[in-house]
Structure 1
Amino acid sequence: MLKGGKSGPIIVPGKPDESLIIQKIRSGEMPPKKRMLEMGVKPITPSETERLARWIAQGVPEGNVAPDVATTEPDSLVSDKDRQFWAFQPPRPVVVPSVSHAAPVRNPIDAFVLAKLEEKGLTLSPEADRLTLIRRACFDLTGLPPEPDEVQSFLQDQDPRAYEKLIDRLLASPRYGERWGRYWLDVAGYADSEGGKLSADHPRPVAYRYRDYVIRSFNADKPYDRFLLEQIAGDELIDYENAPVITQEIMDSLIATGFLRLGPDSTSEREVNFVEDRLDVISDEIDVFSSGVLGLTIKCAKCHSHKYDPIPQRDYYRLAALFKGAYDEHDWLMPQHAGDGGKVMGTRYLPYVIPGATPVQLIIEEGKREALEQKAEPIKKKLLDQKLAQLPATLHEDLRRMLVTPPDKRNELEKYLAEKFEKILKIEPEELKRSDAGYKKEAEESERQVKLLEFRKLPEPKITALWDRGVPSPTYILRRGDPASFGRLVGPGVPSVLTDGKTPFEVQPPWPGSSKTGRRLALARWLIRQNHPLTARVMVNRIWQHHFGTGIVKTLANFGNTGARPTHPELLDWLASEFVRQGWSIKSMHRLMMTSSTYRQQSTVTPVLEKMDPENLLLSRMPLKRMEAEVLNDTLLLISGRLDETPYGVPEPVLVRDDGLVTPIETEKGMRRSIYVAQRRTDLPTILENFDLPPMSPNCVERNVSTVAPQALHLMNNAIIHRLAEAFAGRVKKEAGADPEKQVERAYWIAFSRPPTDEEKKIGLEALNRLKIEQAKQSLAETKEQKAEALPAGPKAGVDIKVSAPKAEPQEALSALSKVCHTLMNSAAFLYID
């Protein structure tokens, strides 16, 4: 700036009015408005101009630009005492406790739990029966109930290790990754749309590749340390730009970095692509990372030092600096807009180069649309005639003329009639569907094809990824989080409280000659150190929570001072150490937890347990758990025979209906598992939203479990639920035949994975018989009405219309069975897992 270019020096020290830079800014020539718009930078304010002028007037003094980083010197902001808090210390070596009554102890988990129980004079509850155990295990590991034949096979298996073999089979099922991948997608904040500050909620057409990566990783039991490495720094694990061949491993590592691109992001729109908007995106990703992986509320330190945990504001910005090579608010990849030639948007993605990733495009033939419109015409005419019949005949001709005249060409009379009658005479699409079953089927298929086209067409094979792009801009502490108020310069680093406070944070390029910073790779490697205080603890606590209902630390995303203390601290440390010892294997953790006697307990609450352990903090019994949203939806599809288990790929579209309901679109195969249904932030499928599927803003570390009226109303009244009940009844009839007793038994086996009790069978048979009679009576009444209408015109009083006595026909019997099946689908025994 002092040397200048063709126009000479742009700064004259001590003389701001003679400095070219001040002259250009004040005249409005600089910065160029077009360039500011392209870069998403707001114009310089008068106060900023005057601040620059004062700096020039002071002689352009140079400040100390050495970044604030961790050194070997004692940290003045975080003390050794702060580091003594239990969660900030590495897991301690733990001796498995001895217990007075060792008979129930199958593995060390039981010893830790039983030791606590014995302090209160309690012991483990009795073991649940096999019917309960197989249903519990299947839902826990696959999110679906066992089929009746699978239950029978398990009951007949006399091998002492029958239960252990069951666990192994479930862990090997492809359904396992779909179940447990969903948990991680909550942590990551996965959604199929951008979200953010705009109401448009633009779709993310290739986000699903990350979803598929997660499912495959869980199915393959990818070690958790590797799983984290790939998601945080997959682009820095290998020199993919110069690799002779792009392997599946390389592609997976790049797709995995989508973990850091899942948060709400409005910056695809230029209207909300300024520095503060970009900082919001970065803040959300730091929140996802810290809450999901570290179990800390680090986001609180963005504007000021954390109020309760020893996390100074400096450490928040050190952490932000680790992501700066890819997430740089001053070097942001811009969205594509008309006139960009498509080049800019491409820089927001990496190419997907695995063979077979050809975009899917479905073409709807225009001829089919025309045929559908032609079929609608006579139906519209019939409906219009019916509506006109309710109005004075003298208006009919004028009303018909009004309806076919374009609004801008109507005369005064037609405008008057339109204001009064057009709304009630308008034929809505739903009316057409209700009036003609054939038209309804074709119209819904057309709507489905439109949605499939909208979701499945991909402009080009690509992936949403994060990658370093060169030297990042400096990172400053932002006072009160204000992007225009710079504080100290900081370098990359991790929260000081999670270190010994005297070791610098080392960052090296990932390979010699690399242009990448290596910052995120250094972060990932620090995370997966065997003695890291939080990484293993947070993950095993999350696995424990999904199996036992509550985490050992109840606050899954807050291991800090304001979070809950562990109910079994020694058990948590032992599990964390065991997790690392077993190669960070998540499946090994399942096997360990689920084969314990603690997991196999009954859920019965006795008066003694209610008094001594009312909240089940001592794990004196297994909790009763309600199905999550996806489990409920998938189970309804499975028992009705309408579950399409096609894995992976483009998300299945949803239909936003005129009544506001959001429903998946059914195909000939049925509907796919919920994890494969498109989940836009603003249009969640209604059944999933009613049962607490969370909106991702930015993520969800623990779901709410509510009990509200819309849940019961949806299961009772929703048309899709009724169709599934009919399909369930059809399956029962196919498998059990026409014998009512066998039908009731089969329905219970399918819905509850057990036979009905004698009382349940009696009630079921009585209900089935009563419903058949009611259906027959209803059919009889309809038949009499139809015969009466068929008589010649004239007085009909006293005419004896004879019909056969009521007798249930096959269709009426099936209708009665569907009502029984619908009742089972609404029962607590169905919705809750024992």
Structure 2
Amino acid sequence: MVCCGWFVCVSHTPAEETSIYQSKVKPILHERCYACHGSLKQEGDLRVDTAASAKRGGASGAAIKPGDIDGSELLTRVTSTDMSVRMPPEGEPLKPEQIAAIKQWIAEGALAPEDEVPESDPHDHWAFKTPVRPPVPTVGNVEWSLNPIDAFVAHKHEQKGLVPQPLTEKRLWLRRVTLDLIGLPPTVAEQEAFLADTSPEAYNTVVSRLLDSPQYGERWGRHWMDIWRYSDWWGLGAEVRNSQKHIWHWRDWIIESLNTDKGYDQMLREMLAADELYPNDLDKLRASGFLARQYFKFNRTSWLDETVEHTGKAMLGLTLNCCKCHDHKYDPFSQVDYYQMRAIFEPYQVRTEALPGEIDFEKNGLPRAFDCNLEETTFVHIRGDDRNPDKSRPLTPAIPAFIGGGAISVEPVTLPPEAYLPGLRPFVVEAYRKAADQKIAAAKAAVEAARSKVTEAEKSAVAVATSPTPEAPAMVIAEDDFTKDRPELWEQRDGQWKYENGHLIQSVTGPVRTALRLKTIPPVDFEVRLKYVPTGGEMWKSVGVNFDVNDKGQEVLAYLSSVEGGQKAQVAFKPTGADYSYPGEGAQGRAVALQLPHELILRVRGTLVNLIVDGEPSVAYRLPHDRSSGAMELITYDAAAAFLAFELRTLPLSIALVEGKNAVPPTMALTPVELAQQECRIAEKSLALAEAELVSLNARAAADQARHMTRPSEGAVTLSQAAALAEKQAAAVHAEVELARSELSLKQATNEQRPERQKKFDAAEAAAESARAAIEKPGETYTSLVGALKTLENNLETEESRRKPFPQTSTGRRTALAKWITDPKNPLSARVAMNHIWSRHMGRPLVPTVFDFGRKGSLPIHPELLDWLAVELVEHGWSMKHMHRLIVTSRTYRLSSSNLSASEANLKVDPENRFHWRANPIRMEAQTVRDSLLSLAGDLDLTMGGPSISVSEEKSRRRSLYFVHSHNEHQKFLSLFDDASVLDCYRRTDSIVPQQALALENSELTNEVAEKIAARIKAADPTQSESDWIRRSFQIVLSCEPTAEELMISASALNQLTQLGAEAKHPNPTELARSQFLQALLNHNDFVTVR
């Protein structure tokens, strides 16, 4: 080869002379320079992917001059401190040792192999070409192959000189495939049935049974939840900042889709665009939880960045996020490509859809995606900075052209009326009517109570001391001894409530308030008696009663606090739009000891509040503001407590209350009769309001139906006018209610309060007059029923904007993307899916970089096998069950995982088992460990679906994937065994740490499991021998028979454990020893390993 500079011509370049280039210089150039000066891009017309091209140079001349350190432009650039000149221009400069290696190479003549090949053309990269089914190889041992998978694997064995291990024994295969497909160990009965089945179809029969099991969807649902980043919502307190409430509907959709063998392509289409493809199908709309999960409240750019990144990684195996700030360094994707991909998602937002039977979106609802900002424009963010968009160049949605995308055919979607106006759905209208009927019923009861109070007050007023009129006794409105669940009485709002040992236990602690809401609205004047035991808390340990709770944010609290050094009784309140107030006059320091029962008596008459604690008068306080009727709740704040008894009753006038020290004599005191009459008028007006609201509701529903569900007509105009009138009439009644309340407030005002309350009264009077006037010209405009609630885009969005009707069209962009991703010609989608499926069956992916199939990623270990599997998936309707069956019935899958008898050639040629000459032992995932324990104990609750279970419910026996899984909350046991990260988890990490062994040995869960397994074995055969008992233990826990040596050691261990128990005077040392022995088996490596 001819070298430039001062060197003479040589005819060969020995390997030892080029070793520094091969071992040090070329890797540096590959890592730091190829991105801009390789096959992908040649900035300045320079390539450095071969020494020859570097010597030829580019626009600035030769980059390398052999032997001339000072004259080599490459060295000048990499050592420069001038950022306008330095190379590489981004990231850290080259390290001193890297520069030294380049200097040495140049000084020694910049020698390189004569046959050096330049970097391959990106167009030739394997992953960017549509997979074509390769021919199944012919192998020497034809009988070894049970299906084409085996032929590909055996072909590699023959090429590499590898000898596969023998097949594993039937019991271990059964354990492997059962844990693999349903995440639970096989029962002894299943083991025995399989061993007894000697037919050729024995293996297929097992696989069919497992794939038909509902637990298959749960097992593989958790796998895909990892890949698709499932997460329950998290934020600060009750504020949702990430993901969405009720996202569990998406989890249930994943499970159901897998169980019905919905095609993988169809699952992707629904996740990306169900709202456009199936806008009225609530079952399919659950799939768009994939997009709802990406929600981030505080930064729209971060939200969309994650959407683009994880759509690329999860569905395409591409690191598109690497070209957000600049062109991709390794793959042929530009920064413009990134933002055109973002443009596909730019219009989408998230909303919560009402579901049958519920219109309270806090209780339930379907989080889903929809296109909201149809005209939103996408721009390139210069250097990735969203504060610096390039507004000179608006972008259209597109897919990177290099992988067969480019400009996509986008067809706007005209949505059906129920999609853009969900309040049209019949079940939504019915739910509103039901709520209105309940409100009317409650208002009628309030009127009856108010009229009774008027009668009682009038009787008291005319009574004479010598012949008193008997006063109406206190009427019990609600009472509970908390021995059982009373869903007709209470609604659990927040916290973790459960009935245990005849009490109601609330166990959530920390800086959070929990509430149990009474379904009956209390009367204005009432008495509450609450008995409870405070059992713990981190600091405040507060328990009490919350009343006058309304949707305006108002409430009054009466509680006891067991805080160390500051125990007290307290009355506090929260006015509309203000913070909580804890007045000193409303507090009394007093002992409220933990672990002891306490009784709180709360008496309220008008604005006067009295507390009696453990039989002693405690607090007398007059609220400084008017009260508004509202709900009552039992509350805790940072307190665990056991509730023993509750009683709510009316407060007779004969019970005198102590005036608060903060009270000021009113200037216009009302007599008890006048007060009762005024309150009765308010109750009657409130009933009229509830009835008017039902009329308005029906009128608006009828108008919506006429305007949107049928062709507009004169009838629609008439109905719109009627709806507008009914809504304004209801508004006028509402204004009358507020005026009556303001009037009462004014009459109860002190001299100090009177000016401010007079202003409020005048404003209420003006509002009532305005509302009455509006009835004269109702028009045709009215408010439609709210059937969905838009998620806050940011802190500036108003409640009003969240409830507006949604756009009547959708852009169709996500539909176009979904169709392209699931097109059989797409080079990536099927490969990525099969790589994940193969990895979870075989313990190792075919492409190790599971989310990067680009040029920076790893090459496939079995490229032909991967392509064959990808084509097989597509040609069989993207059926994952078909692919599971192929894999787990292959001979490759049935190989033993042992390497004890492996040939030296195997261990030398393929020590990491990349070519599957044996099965890979796989450590159980966190969920499988816990679920297997419960299953072995016969204690696993197989109830499927529903809201996520609080992590505080450690005694829950549901499957582990149903626990809350978020950035803020993790189930403790699962966290010990490498649970999935919610930020991304394309491949679980494995660790073996002492805490795992301690959990399996000492946790309450494993102790219970061991005892229950022992009890099950005994119940099945109380008279069995010790040897039979040991064999059955091995069969249950490890799905295998003990060897003769294991049998002997186990018998000896049991004997020693029994002796120890007897010496400790345990009442049943034999049962104790067996339970301890089972704990040891549960801590065995063969339990947590799938072999």
TM-score by length of 2: 0.51
Q: Which residue of the partner structure matches residue 945 of structure 2? A: 648
Is this contact kept in 1: 2:415–2:810, CA < 8 A? no
Q: Which residue of the partner structure matches residue 577 of structure 1? A: 871
Which stretch has the larger CA shift, 114-123 or 146-155? 114-123
1:607, 1:575 → 2: CA distance? 29
Is residue 2:1080 matched to residue 1:823? yes
2:1014 counterpart (729, 732, 754)? 729
Comparing both structures, which one devotes a greater share of its residues to strand?
2
Q: Which residue of the partner structure matches residue 366 of structure 1? A: none
1:499 counterpart (398, 404, 417)? 404
1:767 counterpart (1045, 1053, 1078)? 1053
**Secondary structure of the corresponding residue to residue 97 of structure 1:** coil
1:254 counterpart (285, 304, 310)? 285
Is this contact kept in 1: 2:244–2:293, CA < 8 A? no
User: Deviation of residue 470 (structure 1)?
Assistant: 5.0
User: Deviation of residue 305 (structure 1)?
Assistant: 1.5
1:520, 1:727 → 2: CA distance? 52
1:201, 1:279 → 2: CA distance? 14
Letter in 2 for 1:814: E
Cα-to-partner distance string for 1:619-651 (whole Å, 9 max, x where unaligned): 111101111110001011111222111111112
Q: Which residue of the partner structure matches residue 832 of structure 1? A: 1089
Cα-to-partner distance string for 1:461-508 (whole Å, 9 max, x where unaligned): 3111101125231100001221121123211011222117xx632111
**Secondary structure of the corresponding residue to residue 1009 of structure 2:** helix
Q: Which residue of the partner structure matches residue 1063 of structure 2? A: 777
Letter in 1 for 2:332: P
**Secondary structure of the corresponding residue to residue 465 of structure 1:** strand
1:741, 1:94 → 2: CA distance? 54
Comparing both structures, which one devotes a greater share of its residues to helix?
1
Cα-to-partner distance string for 1:702-754 (whole Å, 9 max, x where unaligned): 11111122212222222332222222222222224254333212211110112
1:220, 1:358 → 2: CA distance? 27
Check 1:200–1:476 CA distance in 2 against 1; reply closer, same or farther (3 A cut). Answer: closer
Letter in 1 for 2:337: D
1:295, 1:646 → 2: CA distance? 35
1:506-585 aligned within 5 A: 506-511=409-414, 515-585=809-879
**Secondary structure of the corresponding residue to residue 306 of structure 1:** coil
Q: Which residue of the partner structure matches residue 18 of structure 2? A: none
**Secondary structure of the corresponding residue to residue 139 of structure 2:** coil
1:227 counterpart (267, 287, 292)? 267
Is this contact kept in 2: 1:324–1:472, CA < 8 A? no
Is this contact kept in 2: 1:732–1:746, CA < 8 A? yes
Cα-to-partner distance string for 1:220-240 (whole Å, 9 max, x where unaligned): 000111111100000000343
Is residue 2:221 matched to residue 1:175? no
| Paired positions, count | 576
Is there any run of 5+ residues in structure 2 with no aligned partner, and where? 1-118, 417-807
Is residue 2:367 matched to residue 1:464? yes
Q: Which residue of the partner structure matches residue 374 of structure 1? A: none
2:873, 2:163 → 1: CA distance? 26
Q: Which residue of the partner structure matches residue 486 of structure 1? A: 389
1:86 counterpart (113, 126, 135)? 126
Q: Which residue of the partner structure matches residue 758 of structure 2? A: none
User: Deviation of residue 197 (structure 1)?
Assistant: 13
Check 1:819–1:124 CA distance in 2 against 1; reply closer, same or farther (3 A cut). Answer: same
2:827, 2:277 → 1: CA distance? 24
Is residue 2:888 matched to residue 1:631? no
Is this contact kept in 2: 1:736–1:742, CA < 8 A? no
Is this contact kept in 2: 1:740–1:768, CA < 8 A? no
1:13-32 aligned within 5 A: none
Q: Which has the higher contact order (CA 8 A, sep 6+)?
A: 1
Check 1:200–1:773 CA distance in 2 against 1; reply closer, same or farther (3 A cut). Answer: farther
1:242-281 aligned within 5 A: 250-263=281-294, 265-267=295-297, 273=298, 277-281=299-303
Letter in 2 for 1:759: E
1:678-717 aligned within 5 A: 678-697=964-983, 699-717=984-1002
2:375, 2:843 → 1: CA distance? 44
Cα-to-partner distance string for 1:331-387 (whole Å, 9 max, x where unaligned): xx7xxxxxxxxxxxxxx312223xxx659xxxxxxxxxxxxxxxxxxxxxxxxxxxx
Cα-to-partner distance string for 1:144-199 (whole Å, 9 max, x where unaligned): 11000010000001211100111111100011000000011111111222359999
Cα-to-partner distance string for 1:109-166 (whole Å, 9 max, x where unaligned): 1111111110122243221111111111101101111000010000001211100111
User: Deviation of residue 257 (structure 1)?
Assistant: 0.5
TM-score by length of 1: 0.66
- Structure 1 stretches of at least 4 aligned residues deviating more than 6 Å after TM superposition: 196-203
**Secondary structure of the corresponding residue to residue 380 of structure 2:** strand
Q: Which residue of the partner structure matches residue 796 of structure 2? A: none
Which stretch has the larger CA shift, 543-552 or 465-474? 465-474
Is this contact kept in 2: 1:201–1:681, CA < 8 A? no
Letter in 2 for 1:827: H
Cα-to-partner distance string for 1:585-642 (whole Å, 9 max, x where unaligned): 0000001111111111111211422112111111111101111110001011111222
1:18-417 aligned within 5 A: 81-194=121-234, 204-240=244-280, 250-263=281-294, 265-267=295-297, 273=298, 277-327=299-349, 348-353=351-356
1:722, 1:197 → 2: CA distance? 35
User: Deviation of residue 771 (structure 1)?
Assistant: 1.1
Is this contact kept in 1: 2:245–2:367, CA < 8 A? no
Is this contact kept in 1: 2:397–2:407, CA < 8 A? no
2:327, 2:859 → 1: CA distance? 23
User: Deviation of residue 95 (structure 1)?
Assistant: 1.2
The alignment's C-alpha RMSD in Å is 2.3
Is this contact kept in 1: 2:339–2:378, CA < 8 A? yes
Cα-to-partner distance string for 1:656-700 (whole Å, 9 max, x where unaligned): xxxxxxxx4325xxx111011122322211221111102211x21
1:603-642 aligned within 5 A: 603-605=897-899, 606-608=902-904, 609-642=906-939
2:263, 2:394 → 1: CA distance? 37
2:841, 2:1064 → 1: CA distance? 48
Is this contact kept in 2: 1:349–1:462, CA < 8 A? yes
Check 1:239–1:763 CA distance in 2 against 1; reply closer, same or farther (3 A cut). Answer: closer
Cα-to-partner distance string for 1:549-573 (whole Å, 9 max, x where unaligned): 1111111111011111001111111
Check 1:80–1:507 CA distance in 2 against 1; reply closer, same or farther (3 A cut). Answer: farther
User: Deviation of residue 512 (structure 1)?
Assistant: 8.7
**Secondary structure of the corresponding residue to residue 186 of structure 2:** coil
Is residue 2:1038 matched to residue 1:749? no
1:593-612 aligned within 5 A: 593-605=887-899, 606-608=902-904, 609-612=906-909
Is this contact kept in 2: 1:510–1:521, CA < 8 A? no
Check 1:545–1:202 CA distance in 2 against 1; reply closer, same or farther (3 A cut). Answer: closer
1:619, 1:314 → 2: CA distance? 42
Is this contact kept in 1: 2:248–2:948, CA < 8 A? yes
**Secondary structure of the corresponding residue to residue 723 of structure 1:** helix
Larger Rg: 2
**Secondary structure of the corresponding residue to residue 464 of structure 1:** strand
Is this contact kept in 2: 1:295–1:557, CA < 8 A? yes
1:290, 1:519 → 2: CA distance? 16
User: Deviation of residue 281 (structure 1)?
Assistant: 1.3
User: Deviation of residue 204 (structure 1)?
Assistant: 4.3
Is this contact kept in 1: 2:276–2:415, CA < 8 A? no
Cα-to-partner distance string for 1:43-82 (whole Å, 9 max, x where unaligned): xxxxxxxxxxxxxxxxxxxxxxxxxxxxxxxxxxxx9943
Check 1:491–1:87 CA distance in 2 against 1; reply closer, same or farther (3 A cut). Answer: same
**Secondary structure of the corresponding residue to residue 713 of structure 1:** helix
